[in-house]
Amino acid sequence: MIQVHQLKKSFGDRTVLYDISADFYPGKCNLIIGSSGSGKTVLMKCLVGLFEPDQGAILYQDQDMVTMSREERKQLRQQIGMLFQGSALFDSMTVEQNVMFPLDMFTRDSYQTKLKRVNEVLDRVNLKESNKKFPAEISGGMKKRVGIARAIVLNPRFLFVDEPNSGLDPQTSMVIDKLIKDLTIDFNTTTVINTHDMNSVMEIGDNILYMYQGYKQWTGSNKDIIFSDDEKLNNFIFASEFLQDAKQMRMLEAKGHLPSNLTDTSKP
């Protein structure tokens, strides 16, 4: 579990995060959402230690990362996996070499032991026959899955995912969402996802933090969103008329009040 208490972050005279407190749970897909400039990316970078907050605490299993020593942070980072928005694969390395990179960095295992682990995670993301391919030879969706394999190769307790569906078609996005969800549940990982994808919000949003102009505006699950009366959240999530209609349908469905013409199968 990750707990954030009264986090604040500024750059010069510009405050980006105002007194953020939030909980991110193991075995759940914890989503951070918000429009551009809301502070969600800065929050994630604070969580992984890329930015130092001006005040507040970031607790990993009750240990404050903000006050950790350099050696303690190094040990913590070995428990953290990261999937970057553009996958961030090394173009000059094969899929196998990319996934093995964290093992080379953080372990002294033999090559055969590392290769066995690489093959295990590639099989887990359905890329069993892709070891010797280079990033330029695989699709965008496959690159994301390689990035996921690399992120989980060290069996992390904490997984951070930045815009996993950026640049992907809807069908591939659904595959990536399901993969992340399954891995989160199977390994009881504390998974934190920064996303703009509303399908991800509705399908895998177990615990959602909505940020607005640097503040925590709303928290809840994908089921809670349907019934939210928060105007800013509704304007963000259900911006189009189509999505507003979809919300109304889901509300009616949840209450068992779908129109008769949609529930009566005896009529053509």
Buried-exposed string 54-89: b where 16+ CB fall within 10 A, e elsewhere: eebbbebeeeebbebeeeeeeebbeebbbbbbebeb
pLDDT of residue 268: 47
* 145 lies in some domain: no
Mean pLDDT of the chain: 88
pLDDT of residue 242: 45
CA distances from 260 to 140, 244, 253, 267 (A): 43, 20, 12, 10
206 pLDDT exceeds 90? yes
pLDDT of residue 243: 54
**DSSP strands (E only) in the chain:** 2-11, 14-24, 28-33, 55-60, 63-64, 80-83, 158-162, 190-194, 207-212, 215-220
CA-nearest of 183, 184, 228 to 210 is 228
Of how many residues is the chain composed? 268
Q: How far apart are CA 203 and CA 226, in angstroms?
A: 12
* 130 lies in some domain: no
Report the percent of the chain where pLDDT is more than 90. 66
State the CATH number of the domain containing residue 211.
3.40.50.300
Count how many domains the chain has: 1
pLDDT digits (tens, 9 = 90+) for 236-267: 887 645 455 555 665 566 666 555 454 454 44
Band (30; pLDDT cuts 50, 70, 90):
very high
* 240 lies in some domain: yes
The structure tokens listed for 55 are 């005040």
Crossing angle of helices 170-186 and 140-152, rounded to 10°: 10
pLDDT digits (tens, 9 = 90+) for 106-164: 889 999 999 999 999 999 998 988 999 999 999 988 999 999 999 999 999 999 999 88
* 125 lies in some domain: no
* 131 lies in some domain: no
How many secondary structure helices (H) and strands (E) does the chain include? 11, 10
Report angle CA 78, 75, 84 to the nearest 5 degrees.
35
Prediction pTM value: 0.85
The structure tokens listed for 197 are 């994808």
Q: How far apart are CA 243 and CA 249, in angstroms?
A: 10
The residue range of the domain holding 247 is: 2-79+156-262
Which of 161-175, 209-223, 226-240 has maximum average pLDDT? 209-223
Burial of 19 (0-12, 13-18, 19+ CB in 10 A): middle
* 203 lies in some domain: yes
pLDDT of residue 156: 93
* 50 lies in some domain: yes
197 pLDDT exceeds 60? yes
* 100 lies in some domain: no
